[in-house]
Amino acid sequence: MAGFEEVNYYFRRAARIMDLSPRVEKLLITPFREVKVDVSISLDSGELGTFIGYRVQHDRSRGPMKGGLRYHPTLDMDEALGLASLMTWKNAVVNVPYGGAKGGIAVDPSKISERELERLTRRFVEQIHDIIGPQIDIPAPDMGTNAQVMAWIMDAYSKIHGFSPAVVTGKPIDLFGSRGREEATGRGVVYALEEFLKDMGGGEIRGKRCAIQGFGNVGSWAARFLHKAGATVVAVSDQTGGVANPEGLDVPKLVEHAKRANAVAGFPGVDSISNEELLVSEVDVLIPAAVGGVLTRENARHVRARYVVEAANAPTTPEADEILTTRGIPILPDIYANAGGVTVSYFEWTQNIQQFTWEEPKITAELRRYMSEAYATLSRVARERRVPLRTAAFIVAIGRVGRATVLRGL
């Protein structure tokens, strides 16, 4: 879970190095808008279902605000605040022209029917339509949401404001979505890892032993691209448990199994492994790609990976970050490593605004360029300031957001 204070801990660490004044620090931390709404619908049973929806808009100095919608039972305002601020810094790190936002509904989508999910989504749009829009705030999928949910949002918004495909990204291809968007975060993780390994003297991806916690959209696509690049994926887990094979998992077959069974557990011919065991397995690259806060003060001392790549949002607590850094385990931070999704969301939004479709080779080439250029900047700042990559990422992001804020006179 990405709490607001956890994100601000990293912000303040960078701000001290940059010698930011308390006034500017407060200006950049303070959210632009926090919205909490009642989202009540008729359930299929005829009963009334009442849910709470959130949308936090953190910063708009560099463009329209951008960030996912999460449908998860534990979502609350603190998590939305933390994730929204992370989006501000993430968008600035990869230099896409957006501010940061995040939100969603406190609901377990697996516990309601598809009809209820659609009604809930459309009702949520009715509650927040006046604060989102193609030039205001552009939602996207996150945990518990997908392309279908984005299609409902686009339709509900368009019924009020006129045809508006650019109001959300991550839409189905047949409804003005972008090629390459579904796999963008996982693909971006692998592009980021390539840059990271080159910079750290770790060589190429081929032959690296990798463990991935989380096998949803991000983890499963990262596994596919790692497998294709010649890495050996030795362990994978999700909320049901995990599977491991020291010789390497058959990733394409595991993906098919997970689709059928809705879980990685039960995949034949492998060992079982818990999420806790996966995090401390002996590998070259550990990729937490599930929920936040999984690397903690308790388990960070036992991590045996040579590198940690944060494909999830805020998977490492500040205490764990300090321990891993002290132990000499380099961390590729979330606000860079998982930015492939928002980068291709930017490409989708651009295509919608232009009403012109890009071909997939252009999209993947542009994504690689954005990830490569962003890493070069982070690496340079880390060397010049003699700081870890996470602090360098915040220094870059704060500098870009701060300059835009001052120039606009906000």
Catalytic residues: 102
What is the rounded CA–CA span in Å between residue 317 and residue 2? 9
First to last CA, the chain: 30
Dist. CA 297–CA 305, nearest whole Å: 16
Task: Identify the residue whose tokens are 């011919």.
Answer: 269
Report the alpha-carbon distance of residue 330 to residue 377 in Å, rounded. 17
Of residues 229, 261, 263, the one with CA closest to residue 248: 229
Instruction: Give the amino acid at 193.
Output: L
Exposed, middle or buried, 99 (CB in 10 Å: 0-12/13-18/19+)?
buried
Answer yes or no: are the C-beta atoms of 127 and 50 closer than 8 Å: no
Instruction: Find, among 181, 184, 183, 129, the residue nearest to 152 by Cα.
Output: 129
Query: Where do the DSSP E strands lie in 259-345?
Result: 271-273, 285-288, 307-309, 331-332
User: Cβ neighbours of residue 7 under 8 Å, at least 6 residues apart?
Assistant: 82, 85, 86, 89, 314
Alpha-carbon separation of residue 67 from 86, 136, 151, 170 (angstroms): 9, 12, 16, 11
Which of 214, 269, 266, 219 is CA-nearest to residue 237? 214
Contact 151, 167 (CB under 8 A): no
CB 70 within 8 Å of CB 143: yes
How far apart (Å, rounded) are the C-alpha atoms in residues 13 and 18?
9
Nearest alpha carbon to residue 196 among 335, 337, 369: 337
- The dihedral sign for the CA sequence 387, 391, 393, 395: negative
